[in-house]
């Protein structure tokens, strides 16, 4: 069990690594009020911890804030042969929460939201609360998967390398498209999502094989309706991925859950409107029952 020490909010996060399930996983520690517990942030597919850079500092009054890179994403280790998909992600998140050592508030965006719901259904004792941010609650709808099919053509090929940082910025795109992030904000995110290679060229920080995770979506996964953890569902008011109908369906399936729309936000909610995202999460934290000291 990880030891708990008082932590204060940091102007810049500390980059850390932990080896779990034989895989070296990367996470950012933003500090925060450790006496209130821990908040763990999960990103979406083909993304990384930096999707939370704007919202994470605003959450530190609610607890110690950690953001985890999934295997094959960001600075976490690639797996060879590839072992991506729900089963591996669930296992890594479960192990990370056990490493933290106490029930946490799990906050997860997009693909990470699906993983978080499965973790909540399988391991409810590890969570004190769940926040699902613009997540479909499983694989994206068929029409969206068909739109993204062209992105999968690179699977099995070497990671593309680009000549310069400026080429990374020009190549970088959010999927689905639509964002209120500024041009400078997109450029900053692009560079944080890339690495300069020993040969001087640049590449994005994720294994292209991760894009095939939906092929393993037929794994034996729990039904979303089995989630009993107190849950907040956040939808970007202009999201093109999570429809209002689907968001209401999730609220109906997860008994007792609360649904809120974040204004001025497309799918990438914590990038588009970090202030209202953080406010909604902090309000939810305040609504949770106090922890039982005897359980520690």
Give pLDDT, residue 82: 85
Would you state the structure tokens that stand for residue 28, as one six-digit string?
């950012």
The domain spanning residue 51 has which CATH number?
Answer: 3.40.50.1820
Q: Could you tell me if 104 and 38 are in contact, meaning their C-beta atoms sit under 8 angstroms apart? A: yes
Q: Could you tell me if 193 and 246 are in contact, meaning their C-beta atoms sit under 8 angstroms apart? A: no
Give pLDDT, residue 146: 54
Model-wide pTM > 0.85:
yes
Residue 95: what are its φ and ψ, rounded to 5°? -65, -40
Mind listing the pLDDT tens digit for each residue in 21-37?
999 999 999 999 989 99
Can you count the helices (H) and strands (E) in the chain?
8, 10
Edge-to-edge strand ranges of the sheet holding 38-42: 14-20, 23-32, 64-68, 38-42, 104-109, 127-133, 231-236, 258-262
Would you state the structure tokens that stand for residue 202, as one six-digit string?
């640049």
Task: Count the neighbouring beta carbons within 10 Å of the beta carbon of residue 221.
Answer: 18
In angstroms, the CA 285 to CA 287 distance is: 5
Task: Give the domain extent around 221.
Answer: 14-154+213-288
Mind listing the pLDDT tens digit for each residue in 118-164?
999 999 999 999 999 999 887 655 555 555 454 555 455 678 999 99
Q: Could you tell me if 15 and 75 are in contact, meaning their C-beta atoms sit under 8 angstroms apart? A: yes
Mind listing the pLDDT tens digit for each residue in 209-247?
887 655 544 568 999 999 999 999 999 999 999 999 999
Mapped onto helix, strand or coil, the DSSP state of residue 122 is: helix
Flag whether 168 is in a domain: no
Give pLDDT, residue 8: 62
Q: Does residue 9 carry a pLDDT above 50? A: yes
Mind listing the pLDDT tens digit for each residue in 86-100?
999 999 999 999 999
Give pLDDT, residue 10: 63
Mind listing the pLDDT tens digit for each residue in 33-81?
989 999 999 999 999 999 999 999 999 999 999 999 999 999 999 998 8
Flag whether 184 is in a domain: no
Flag whether 195 is in a domain: no
Flag whether 9 is in a domain: no
Average of pLDDT values for 272-279?
Answer: 98
Q: Which of 102, 87, 76 is nearest to 296 (CA)?
A: 102
Give pLDDT, residue 157: 66
Higher pLDDT, 243 or 3: 243
In angstroms, the CA 4 to CA 11 distance is: 20
Give pLDDT, residue 220: 83
Give pLDDT, residue 7: 53
Mind listing the pLDDT tens digit for each residue in 186-201?
999 999 999 999 999 9
Give pLDDT, residue 164: 98
Flag whether 188 is in a domain: no
Q: Which of 212, 192, 198 is nearest to 161 (CA)?
A: 198
Task: Count the neighbouring beta carbons within 10 Å of the beta carbon of residue 139.
Answer: 16
Flag whether 230 is in a domain: yes
Burial label, 182 (beta-carbon count in 10 A; 0-12, 13-18, 19+): exposed
Give pLDDT, residue 116: 98
Q: Return the DSSP state at 93.
A: H
Give Cβ neighbours of residue 224 (< 8 Å, ≥ 6 apart). 117, 121, 137, 138, 250, 253, 254
Q: Could you tell me if 212 and 82 are in contact, meaning their C-beta atoms sit under 8 angstroms apart? A: yes
Q: Could you tell me if 279 and 232 are in contact, meaning their C-beta atoms sit under 8 angstroms apart? A: no
Flag whether 192 is in a domain: no
Flag whether 108 is in a domain: yes
- The confidence band for 102, taking pLDDT boundaries of 50, 70 and 90, is confident
């Amino acid at each position: 069990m990880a030891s708990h020490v008082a932590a204060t909010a940091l102007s810049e996060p500390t980059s850390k690594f932990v080896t779990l399930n034989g895989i070296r996983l990367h996470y950012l520690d933003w500090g925060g009020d450790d006496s209130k517990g821990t908040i763990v942030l999960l990103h979406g597919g083909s993304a990384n911890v930096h999707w939370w850079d704007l919202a994470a500092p605003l959450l530190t009054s609610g607890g110690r804030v950690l953001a985890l890179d999934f295997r094959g994403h960001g600075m976490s280790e690639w797996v060879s042969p590839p072992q991506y998909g729900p089963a591996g992600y669930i296992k890594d998140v479960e192990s990370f929460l056990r490493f933290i050592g106490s029930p946490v508030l799990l906050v997860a965006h997009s693909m990470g939201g699906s993983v978080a719901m499965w973790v909540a259904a399988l391991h409810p004792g590890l969570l004190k609360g769940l926040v699902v941010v613009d997540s479909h609650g499983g694989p994206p709808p068929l029409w969206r998967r068909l739109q993204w099919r062209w992105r999968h053509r690179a699977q099995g090929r070497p990671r593309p390398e680009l000549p310069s940082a400026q080429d990374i910025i020009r190549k970088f795109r959010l999927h689905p498209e639509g964002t209120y992030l500024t041009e400078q904000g997109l450029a900053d995110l692009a560079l944080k999502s890339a690495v300069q290679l020993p040969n001087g060229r640049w590449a994005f920080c994720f294994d292209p094989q991760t894009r095939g995770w939906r092929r393993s979506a037929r794994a034996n996964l729990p039904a979303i309706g089995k989630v009993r953890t107190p849950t907040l569902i956040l939808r970007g008011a202009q999201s093109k991925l999570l429809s209002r109908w689907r968001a209401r369906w999730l609220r109906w399936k997860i008994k007792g859950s609360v649904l809120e729309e974040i204004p001025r936000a497309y799918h990438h909610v914590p990038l588009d409107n970090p202030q209202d995202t953080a406010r909604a999460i902090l309000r939810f934290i305040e609504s949770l029952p106090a922890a039982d000291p005897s359980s520690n």
